[in-house]
């Protein structure tokens, strides 16, 4: 949906594309990354509870996640109202910061939709009800495409129309998923709303916070690339080209992110059921399959290096800039075909706190400084910034691979089974 919205914005003009990119990828994306990470605590708890056949615990966990995410989303709200001065503070041009700040306020309904839809998605995934999520997503994206075309082009509402339809589409997904759950689609795991959701919030918050730090550091990483690009010469063109590349990467990234979700759930299910061999097999299977798909799309981007940008723009300057970045885009796609799966293993196993430190070191102590060094001190511009940040991703992937290879799966299975027994006894008291 975000790619569709950005594509329509790109055909309105270069400033419209840049402002939509900054608002969507930086302001909304910053908050989405944190809320997505916090919701991923459900993949550990619900996944292991489902594997251990403690079905009654899943609905309570989801409601706790709603409470925690709603409180966090409310605390993050000022970022939308003060987006323009914040964007200028980090070096964005005044005209671009003002346009993106205005758009950001329009995206507040999207912000609150994350509170409900992210836990709902994980609640269903942990029960292997992915078909429900897939059907709802397909319906919503078709509605979104038609409605965006109607409001932006036929009715002439421009960026405002694009933003409002994005709000509507996210909330449509919430309503459809909530309707399925509440109306009997999850009879074993949804026992109705309960005040018990307010019990044990502190422990749930701690795991959610660790998950949030782990995943938001990954989610923010390439969004920071767009912010850094806003500080170089010809910032609007650089941001447009990078936003197109990041959008294409984000589009393809849905495939490894699907493997991330599947791996996290499957590993959690198997560990909760005390099946260490099943968890190990799921990890190997996902890494190999996602890597093959990543190689295919990397080759495709290289082959279509001078054509991929036409999806988003007809500006010759922007198309040439994207062409120059296509090799780095292909390399990023290749690395991102492995890294999310290893993060999924971490989520399924409950390693979020450890991986958060790995992400801080590889991304923010190595990748970003290296990108700044190559971009400004070596005068390589956007190519240097991105190449340096790819180095951080490569280091993070290598560390996670070593952790996964050395994992004692029997020990992890015993830990998960013991955790579920303790939590189950606490819920029953």
Instruction: Report, as an integer, the average pLDDT of 151-168.
Output: 87
Note the Cα 99 to chain centre separation in Å.
24
Model pLDDT, residue 53: 84
The token duo for 241 is 């080209």
**Residue where the block lists tokens 């390439």:** 222
Residue 13's Cβ-side half-sphere holds a number of Cα atoms within 13 Å equal to 7
Residues 6+ apart with CB under 8 A from 198: 64, 67
Scored b (16 or more CB within 10 A) or e, 91-130 reads ebbeebbbbbbbbbebbeebbbbbbbbbbbbbbbbbbebe
Helix 108-125 with 41-51: angle, nearest 10 deg: 20
Model pLDDT, residue 234: 61
Cα(368)–Cα(224) distance, integer angstroms: 9
Residue 425 has pLDDT above 80, yes or no: no
Query: How high is the mean pLDDT of the chain?
Result: 85
Residue 37 has pLDDT above 90, yes or no: no
**Residue 16 pLDDT class (50, 70, 90 cuts):** confident
**Residue where the block lists tokens 């960026």:** 159
- Answer whether 358's CB lies under 8 Å from 343's CB: no
Model pLDDT, residue 232: 65
The token duo for 351 is 């390693």
Cα(220)–Cα(358) distance, integer angstroms: 15
Kindly report, residue by residue over 98-145, the tens digit of the pLDDT.
888 888 999 999 999 999 999 999 999 888 888 998 999 999 999 999
Instruction: Report, as an integer, the average pLDDT of 178-196.
Output: 88
Ranges of beta strands (E only) in 103-248 are none
10, 12, 14, 18: CA torsion to nearest 10: -60
For residue 137, count other CB atoms closer than 10 A to its CB: 16
Residue 424 has pLDDT above 70, yes or no: no
The token duo for 156 is 């002439």
């Amino acid at each position: 949906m975000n790619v569709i919205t950005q594509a329509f914005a790109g055909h309105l003009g270069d400033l419209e594309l840049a402002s939509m990119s900054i608002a969507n990828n930086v302001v909304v994306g910053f908050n989405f990354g944190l809320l997505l990470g916090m919701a991923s605590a459900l993949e550990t708890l619900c996944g292991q509870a489902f594997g251990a056949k403690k079905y009654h615990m899943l609905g309570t966990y989801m409601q706790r996640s709603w409470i925690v995410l709603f409180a966090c989303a409310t605390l993050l709200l000022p970022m939308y109202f003060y987006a323009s001065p914040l964007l200028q503070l980090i070096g964005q041009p005044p005209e671009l910061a003002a346009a993106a700040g205005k758009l950001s306020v329009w995206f507040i309904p999207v912000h609150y939709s994350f509170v409900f839809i992210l836990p709902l998605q994980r609640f269903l995934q942990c029960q292997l009800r992915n078909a429900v999520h897939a059907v709802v997503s397909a319906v919503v994206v078709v509605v979104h495409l038609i409605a965006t075309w109607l409001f932006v082009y036929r009715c002439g509402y421009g960026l405002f129309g694009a933003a409002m339809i994005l709000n509507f589409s996210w909330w449509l997904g919430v309503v459809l998923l909530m309707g399925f759950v509440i109306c009997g689609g999850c009879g074993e795991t949804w026992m109705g709303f309960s005040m018990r959701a307010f019990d044990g919030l502190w422990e749930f918050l701690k795991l959610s916070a660790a998950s949030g730090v782990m995943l938001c550091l990954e989610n923010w990483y390439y969004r920071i690339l767009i912010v850094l690009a806003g500080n170089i010469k010809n910032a609007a063109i650089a941001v447009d080209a990078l936003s197109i590349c990041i959008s294409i990467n984000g589009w393809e990234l849905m495939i490894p992110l699907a493997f991330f979700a599947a791996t996290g759930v499957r590993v959690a299910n198997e560990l909760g059921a005390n099946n260490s061999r099943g968890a190990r097999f799921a990890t190997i299977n996902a890494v190999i399959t996602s890597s093959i798909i990543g190689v295919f799309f990397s080759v495709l981007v290289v082959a279509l290096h001078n054509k991929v940008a036409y999806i988003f723009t007809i500006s010759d300057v922007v198309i040439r800039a994207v062409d120059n970045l296509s090799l780095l885009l292909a390399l990023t796609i290749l690395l991102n075909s492995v890294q999310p799966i290893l993060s999924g293993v971490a989520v399924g196993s409950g390693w979020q706190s450890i991986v958060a430190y790995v992400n801080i070191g590889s991304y923010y102590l190595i990748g970003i400084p290296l990108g700044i060094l190559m971009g400004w001190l070596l005068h390589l511009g956007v190519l240097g910034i991105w190449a340096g940040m790819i180095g951080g991703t490569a280091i993070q992937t290598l560390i996670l691979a070593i952790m996964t290879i050395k994992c004692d799966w029997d020990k992890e299975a015993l830990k998960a089974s013991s955790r579920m027994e303790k939590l189950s006894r606490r819920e029953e008291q």
